[in-house]
């Protein structure tokens, strides 16, 4: 079985996460799984980013993008298209600022917001449609790691994903939840057949432009609750253009799968996944407490 892992976004904890991916998640001891890595990484200003990417993941192909240029080009096109817009009633004040860039000012969060979607589009444009070259494509980020599983679990999971006709039109996320009517996806990783992944991701930059301009009605759900986690919700909105169907990965096959984010550059050689997950959960609780305080005043 051949798997393509596409890494996109910020260059976070490359050394730590690459060790975990290549030594723990998909180690060379696996006999029936072959994994290739690809990367589209935003330039972090360091002199040796090229070398770090090559030394850590040894990607088949990679590119370092200029985020500042990408952001301002994206924002400029949206503002130009919205110059004479008369449909602002469809969007709440939060989305006007965060997604549509109404007005001249933007904060750091609005600056960072489109980065994950633009990088996702760019990494898929870079690799193209990998149908026929790989059995499964995983799109993730450099600081995401999976719980190590025996090879048989991966083979059963991805084998059933490709074999079962029920899953022939679905992309999978680690978890999904509908809260108060709003669909949220885990955006730590996405799994799917190469052609489906290509259809969903390769025009994501255009789809984000569409939803920010002529299709503002797709942002209408957010009018009713300013506190919803927009990034986790936006993936479902963007999937409407590619008519993507979704399921949680857990429905494919019973496995002990789990994932988390690495939160520091500490040596993980003698750590287990539970340690990483605990650190991640602690950081998430702190973040949510902070935002809850800001929202609640």
pLDDT in tens, 171-197: 999 999 888 778 888 999 999 999 999
Residue ranges of E strands in 121-275:
136-140, 144-146, 170-173, 176-179, 182-185, 189-192, 245-248, 259-261
Distance of alpha carbon 30 from alpha carbon 25, whole angstroms: 10
Q: What CATH number is attached to the domain comprising 75?
A: 3.90.550
CA separation, residue 23 to residues 79, 94, 212 (Å): 46, 43, 41
In a domain, 280, yes or no: no
Sequence-distant contacts of 67-70: CB under 8 A, at least 24 apart: 67/42, 67/43, 67/115, 67/118, 70/42, 70/115, 70/118, 70/122
Q: How many structural domains does the chain have?
A: 1
∠ CA 8-13-16, rounded to 5°: 115
In a domain, 159, yes or no: yes
Max distance between CA atoms of the chain, in angstroms, equals 60
In a domain, 75, yes or no: yes
In a domain, 89, yes or no: yes
In a domain, 140, yes or no: yes
In a domain, 296, yes or no: no
In a domain, 278, yes or no: no
pLDDT at residue 194, as a whole number: 98
Considering only CA atoms, which of 31, 24, 106 is closest in space to residue 71? 106
pLDDT at residue 294, as a whole number: 43
pLDDT in tens, 218-254: 998 766 666 678 888 899 999 999 999 999 999 999 9
**Which range of residues forms the domain containing residue 110?**
2-271
Considering only CA atoms, which of 292, 274, 250, 296 is closest in space to residue 147? 274
In a domain, 288, yes or no: no
Q: Which 3 state secondary structure label does DSSP give 58?
A: coil
């Amino acid at each position: 079985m051949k798997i393509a892992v596409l890494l996109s976004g910020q260059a976070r904890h490359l050394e730590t996460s690459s060790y975990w991916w290549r030594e723990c998640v998909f180690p060379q001891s696996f006999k029936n799984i072959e994994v290739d890595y690809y990367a589209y990484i935003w330039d972090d200003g360091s002199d040796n980013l090229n070398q770090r990417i090559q030394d850590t993941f040894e990607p088949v192909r990679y590119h370092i993008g200029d985020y500042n240029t990408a952001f301002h080009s994206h924002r400029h096109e949206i503002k130009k298209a919205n110059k004479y817009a008369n449909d602002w009633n469809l969007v709440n004040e939060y989305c006007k600022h965060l997604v549509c860039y109404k007005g001249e000012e933007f904060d750091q969060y609005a600056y960072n917001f489109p980065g994950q979607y633009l990088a996702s589009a760019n990494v898929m444009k870079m690799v193209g449609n990998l149908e026929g070259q790989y059995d499964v494509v995983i799109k993730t980020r450099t600081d995401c790691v999976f719980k190590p599983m025996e090879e048989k679990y991966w083979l059963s999971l991805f084998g059933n994903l490709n074999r079962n006709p029920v899953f022939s039109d679905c992309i999978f996320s680690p978890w999904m939840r509908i809260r108060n009517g709003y669909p949220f996806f885990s955006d730590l990783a996405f799994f799917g057949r190469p052609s489906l992944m290509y259809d969903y991701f390769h025009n994501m930059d255009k789809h984000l432009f569409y939803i920010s301009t002529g299709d503002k009605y797709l942002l209408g759900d957010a009018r009713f609750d300013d506190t919803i986690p927009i990034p986790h919700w936006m993936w479902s909105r963007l999937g409407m253009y590619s008519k993507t169907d979704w399921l949680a990965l857990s429905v494919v096959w019973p496995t002990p799968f789990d994932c988390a984010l690495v939160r520091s550059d500490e040596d993980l050689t003698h750590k287990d996944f539970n340690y990483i997950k605990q650190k991640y959960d602690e950081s998430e609780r702190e973040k949510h407490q902070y935002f809850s305080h800001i929202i609640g005043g």
